[in-house]
Homo-oligomer: A and B are copies of this chain.
């Protein structure tokens, strides 16, 4: 008997080719099981291809393109890692603006980012003075963007939930759902 903790909440997962497979599929599953509606938002329609640790992995269908959505339509955002995924997204102004929207004064909604996902936060300029973690390789980029970087399984700072790697997924999913449930920063 599952408690549907976040029924009625609509969550965007922003990703493109090269997302770390477990870091999209597992949070998506956890969010769905907790009762949320989840949409995969990407640069183009069709499907996007995951990266499974050491090689290309499984694909998933895109629900909406960035042209079709606004951050105001969602209660929260989730950013999976992988190397190619954020490296491509951060060069797209629509993707960066979509991320920024969740941090805007009139929105300030829960955002989860894991592994190399926080690169998009550095790109969007939203980590200044925020306590975050990430895959250790990008800690210098986050510190240089003004973040207070720490090496912890999961970090929560005013609705911003970050984790380091696939091993942290259980803690990450739990905290992300908790933040969405509290709706502390939901519009």
A residues at B contact (CB < 8 Å): 55-56, 83-84, 87-88, 90-91, 116, 122-123, 136-138, 140-141, 144-145
A137, B137: Cα distance in complex, Å: 16
Q: Tell whether, in the assembled complex, residue B87 and residue A137 are in contact, meaning their CB atoms are under 8 Å apart.
A: yes
Given contacts A84-B83, A144-B122, contact A137 B56 (CB under 8 A): no
Task: Classify the secondary structure of A's interface with B.
Answer: helix
* Contact residues in B for A122 (Cβ distance below 8 Å): 140-141, 144
* Contact residues in B for A123 (Cβ distance below 8 Å): 140
* Contact residues in B for A116 (Cβ distance below 8 Å): 87
A84, B17: Cα distance in complex, Å: 15
